[in-house]
Amino acid sequence: MTMGKTLKVVIIDDQPVIRQAIAGLLQGEADLQIVGQAGDGEEGLKVVHATQPDVITLDLEMPRLDGFAFLRLLMAKNPRPVVIVSSHATRESVFRALELGAVEFVAKPSRIASRVDLLPVREDLLRKLRTVTRLSIRSVAERMRLQGQGIRLRSRSSEDLLNGMSLPLAPTVSQPLVPRFLLCIGASTGGPPAIATLLQALDAKLPVAVLITQHMPQKFTAAFVDRLRRTTSWPVREANPELPVVPGEVLVAAANHSLCVYRDGAIIRVRPASEITEQTSGYVPSIDRMFSAAADAMGKSVVGVILSGMSGDGVAGVQAVHKAGGRVLVESPQSAVMPSMPEEAIQTGAAHDVAPLPKLASLIIRHVLSRPL
Considering the candidates 215, 288, 292, 311, report the single residue annotated as catalytic: 215
- In eight-state DSSP terms, residue 90 is T
- Residue 324 maps to a domain: yes
Is 264 one of the annotated active-site residues of the chain? no
Q: Are 166 and 274 members of one domain?
A: yes
Residue by residue, pLDDT tens for the chain (373 residues) are 444 689 999 999 999 999 999 999 998 899 999 999 999 999 999 999 999 999 999 999 999 999 999 999 999 888 999 999 987 655 788 999 998 999 999 887 766 756 676 777 888 899 999 988 877 676 676 666 655 454 454 444 445 555 655 554 455 555 557 899 999 999 999 999 999 999 999 988 899 999 999 998 777 898 999 999 999 999 999 999 999 999 999 999 998 889 999 999 889 999 998 888 776 557 899 999 999 999 999 999 999 999 999 888 999 999 999 999 999 999 999 889 899 999 999 999 999 999 998 899 999 999 998 876 5
- Main-chain phi, psi angles of 86, to 5 degrees: -140, 150
Say how many C-beta atoms besides its own lie within 10 A of residue 83's C-beta.
Answer: 21
Q: Are 227 and 188 members of one domain?
A: yes
Q: Are 120 and 151 members of one domain?
A: no
Number of structural domains in the chain: 2
Q: Are 92 and 147 members of one domain?
A: no
Q: Which of 116, 134, 152 is the last residue of a domain?
A: 134
- Residue 2 maps to a domain: no
- Residue 269 maps to a domain: yes
Q: Which of 75, 109, 134 is the last residue of a domain?
A: 134
Q: Which residues 6+ apart lie within 8 Å of 100 measured at CB?
A: 68, 71, 72, 75, 144
Q: Are 325 and 212 members of one domain?
A: yes
- Residue 337 maps to a domain: yes
- Residue 1 maps to a domain: no
Range of the domain at 46: 7-134
- 0.95 exceeded by the pTM? no
Q: Which of 85, 115, 134 is the last residue of a domain?
A: 134
Q: Are 128 and 150 members of one domain?
A: no
Whole-angstrom Cα distance, residue 228 to residue 150?
Answer: 13
- Torsion sign, CA atoms 24, 25, 30, 33: negative
Q: Are 155 and 55 members of one domain?
A: no
Distance of CA 36 to the CA centre of its chain: 29
Is 215 one of the annotated active-site residues of the chain? yes
Q: Are 154 and 116 members of one domain?
A: no
Q: Are 84 and 181 members of one domain?
A: no
Considering the candidates 158, 313, 322, 362, report the single residue annotated as catalytic: 313
Considering the candidates 86, 158, 188, 311, report the single residue annotated as catalytic: 188
Q: Are 128 and 227 members of one domain?
A: no
Is 313 one of the annotated active-site residues of the chain? yes
For position 116, which CATH number holds? 3.40.50.2300
Q: Are 80 and 180 members of one domain?
A: no
- Residue 177 maps to a domain: yes
